[in-house]
Amino acid sequence: MDEADIANDSILADMERRLARLQAAADKPPKTHCEKCDEPITPARQKLRLNLCFDCALLLERAGRFFRKG
Ligand SMILES: [Zn+2]
């Protein structure tokens, strides 16, 4: 076995670990309530895996715009 083979093996193992993590995240049930204010999140937003209610997402987006300008 030469060194190139060992390097490829560790890269593959690393990729597999990353994929496993992504898979685990995708398997998590969607949030049913907003992370910020605990308001229920609509099923449409749950499908998109959003963890904020519409109002909080809007506020956050506005805040982001404000900070980018400033
Ligand atoms: Zn909220």
pLDDT of 2-40, one tens digit each?
777 777 888 889 988 988 887 776 677 888 999 999 999
Is 7 in the same domain as 40? Answer: no
pLDDT tier, 1 (very low <50, low <70, confident <90, very high otherwise): low
Is 51 in the same domain as 63? Answer: yes
- Please, how many CA atoms are within 13 Å of residue 5, restricted to the half-sphere of its CB? 2
Is 48 in the same domain as 25? Answer: no
Is 18 in the same domain as 42? Answer: no
Give the number of domains in the chain.
2
Residues 6+ apart with CB under 8 A from 41: 30, 31, 32, 33, 34, 50, 51, 52, 53
Question: Which token pair is 34?
Answer: 């907003």
Give the pTM.
Answer: 0.54
Where are the alpha helices (H) located in 1-70, listed in sequence order?
A: 3-27, 43-47, 54-69
pLDDT tier, 56 (very low <50, low <70, confident <90, very high otherwise): very high
User: In which domain, by residue range, is 6 found?
Assistant: 1-29
Q: Residue 5 C-alpha to ligand 1 middle, in angstroms? A: 50
Q: Residue 25 C-alpha to ligand 1 middle, in angstroms? A: 22
